[in-house]
Structure 1
Amino acid sequence: MEGTILVGPEGKALDYQLRDPDALPEEVRRYLEYQIPRWEFEPPTLDGQPVALHNRMSLHLKAVPHADGGMRLQLHGTSFLPTQVPADYDLTPDRLALPAYPSVPWSPVTYQVGATVYVVLKVGRDGKVLDLLDEQVNLHFVPEPGTAAMWRKHFARGTLRTARGWTFHPPTKGEAAAESHWSVRVPVQYTAVDEEVRYGQWHAYVPGPRRAVPWLPAEEQRAPLEGMAASHAHPVGQGGGLKLRPPPEGG
């Protein structure tokens, strides 16, 4: 689910809006209405100065079994993209043509399944892709036994082929402008032709194994990827977006 959030210089949420809240299940809406005002962020800054920062936010919730036999909601992933920071401070996409749904000649369920490929790219100072990797591939269906790896490889192959041709505008201001290269993640989502995608509703998915990215530091590979909004470029480690602090122990 998606929305916007305004965070003040002290790292507290000043205001937020959920996209189409009436479309969300009641238990999800109540959960977020309780949790979001209690979030704490690293105090946002611009050029070293504290600022209030308005971000687009994307959230991924999981329903996990509870000891009482019911289900418990869990915030599994978040992402935040600034709406007010000048583009010159971040790596931004120039040409981000998304791949078409791949043909599956060896399968009787062609065009009947979905997936999300999380691509991480290393971008050079000329804005072109130096290296890339399918960091994780999640399936939006339950594959037949023994076929999951084949499906993930199939979706990843076409995604990487297209992503090699993407180009970006490097940052020209701020600390990031002096880097020799930058990293960015782009989730590419494939939707089955006959699948009705309803915003805010529960969907089953089968997460794939997460691959290590050789050029990224370990701390940039710990947070779950599922919270990132699909088809958007998410700069890695540039400090332009909000950073949600983990809840205190026992919280």
Structure 2
Amino acid sequence: MLGIAFLAAAAPVADAQNARQARQQVEASMLVTGHVDIDRDGRVSAHVLDRPDKLPPYVIDLVERALPALRFEPILVDGAPVLARAKMSIRLVAKPTGDGDGNMQLRIAGAHFGEEYSDSDRTSVRRSNLRPPRYPMNIAQIGGKGTVYLLVQVGRDGRPMDVVAEQVNLTAVGSAREMEMIRTALAKTAVDNARKHWVFTPPDAGEAAGRDYWVVRVPVDFRLDNSGETAHGKWIAYHPGPVQRPAWAAPAPLGFSPDTLVAGGMTPESSRFKLLTALEG
């Protein structure tokens, strides 16, 4: 059921043992997106999943059982609670139960609730030139692939003041040494490219326009073909890296992890949709 790719390379015995340990730890993951409607009390009143016909029934069942239990801070306009709709992305993770029957334990690892991105929204940071990085040749040759989740501090001139790889997740597994090398190479490539080439359009209206800088998140995909995160409703290998957050970034909201964001998009660091309850499922 779950297709997981591994790096094929000759290695010493110690590296082979490390690779086996990594394979035992690897999980499978799927990103489910859609929208939730939030009532004046902060409860989820309705939801819509993107392309549900492409999702396994057991995935739909898990998400639909979890969403009604969520509670948000009520959305206020001029001090009064209003109805609101949030864009949703949920990271599901499946791991073998170890019972010998091939069963998997499925859980919700994280979620993000935010606004729909709009190039015409003058109250938030917008994309101007987010040139994608080149795939490192040495990493491509050994089949290394993954996603680098960048935190970008955008200055008033629209240029990055600082860029940090908040997390690097791999979708191919090797020894611990190989995976560390791949993570380092992908992170450096993505960060260097963003610092050199990326340009944003700062907000010129609304409360955020007067800030000294703004923070956005931009996931960058490195893969060898068109499979992976773009394959809606498909499981992919999942080996998450550690999360690091610079001093200029705000604390992560409840239930959030960087890898709940869809590669190719851009998301403001903060969201008016604040989750009050822990994720279940």
Q: TM-score, normalised by structure 2?
A: 0.76
> Identity rate of aligned residues, in percent?
32
Shift of 1:67: 9.3
Does structure 1 retain, via aligned residues, the 8 Å contact 2:253–2:274? no
Which residue is 2:243 aligned to? 210
Measured in 1, the distance between the counterparts of 2:226 and 2:249 equals 37
Which residue is 2:264 aligned to? 231
Structure 1 residues 51-110: Cα deviation after superposition (integer angstroms, max 9, x where no partner): 3222321110112466988543221121223139972222222222222333217x742x
Structure 1 residues 161-203: Cα deviation after superposition (integer angstroms, max 9, x where no partner): 2212222222233332222111111111122227466311222
Counterpart check, 1:179 vs 2:211:
yes
Counterpart check, 1:14 vs 2:45:
yes
Which residue is 2:26 aligned to? none
Measured in 2, the distance between the counterparts of 1:175 and 1:59 equals 29
Match of 1:92 among 116, 126, 131: 126
Which residue is 2:151 aligned to? 120
Range 41-50 or range 137-146, more displaced: 41-50
Measured in 1, the distance between the counterparts of 2:232 and 2:134 equals 22
Instruction: Give me the CA root mean square deviation.
Output: 2.9
Shift of 1:150: 0.8
Does structure 1 retain, via aligned residues, the 8 Å contact 2:125–2:201? yes
SS in 2 for 1:104: helix
The one-letter code of the counterpart of 1:28 is V
Does structure 2 retain, via aligned residues, the 8 Å contact 1:47–1:174? no
Which residue is 1:188 aligned to? 220
Range 171-180 or range 83-92, more displaced: 83-92
Which consecutive segments of 4 or more residues in structure 1 shift more than 6 A?
none
Measured in 2, the distance between the counterparts of 1:121 and 1:230 equals 15
Range 91-100 or range 67-76, more displaced: 67-76
Measured in 1, the distance between the counterparts of 2:182 and 2:117 equals 39
The one-letter code of the counterpart of 2:214 is W
Counterpart check, 1:75 vs 2:94:
no
The one-letter code of the counterpart of 2:53 is D
Measured in 2, the distance between the counterparts of 1:65 and 1:243 equals 32
Does structure 2 retain, via aligned residues, the 8 Å contact 1:59–1:78? yes
SS in 1 for 2:182: helix
Which residue is 1:162 aligned to? 193
Range 73-82 or range 21-30, more displaced: 73-82
Measured in 2, the distance between the counterparts of 1:53 and 1:194 equals 34
SS in 2 for 1:36: helix
Alignment: residue pair count: 245
Does structure 2 retain, via aligned residues, the 8 Å contact 1:93–1:169? yes
Shift of 1:26: 1.7
Unaligned runs of 5+ in 2: 1-31
Match of 1:4 among 35, 39, 53: 35
Structure 1 residues 179 and 117: alpha-carbon distance in aligned structure 2, compared to 1, 3 A threshold = same
Unaligned runs of 5+ in 1: none
Measured in 1, the distance between the counterparts of 2:35 and 2:75 equals 15
The one-letter code of the counterpart of 1:25 is P
Higher-helix-fraction structure: 2
Match of 2:231 among 187, 198, 208: 198
Shift of 1:220: 5.8
Match of 2:83 among 45, 48, 52: 52
Match of 2:166 among 123, 130, 135: 135
Range 75-84 or range 134-143, more displaced: 75-84
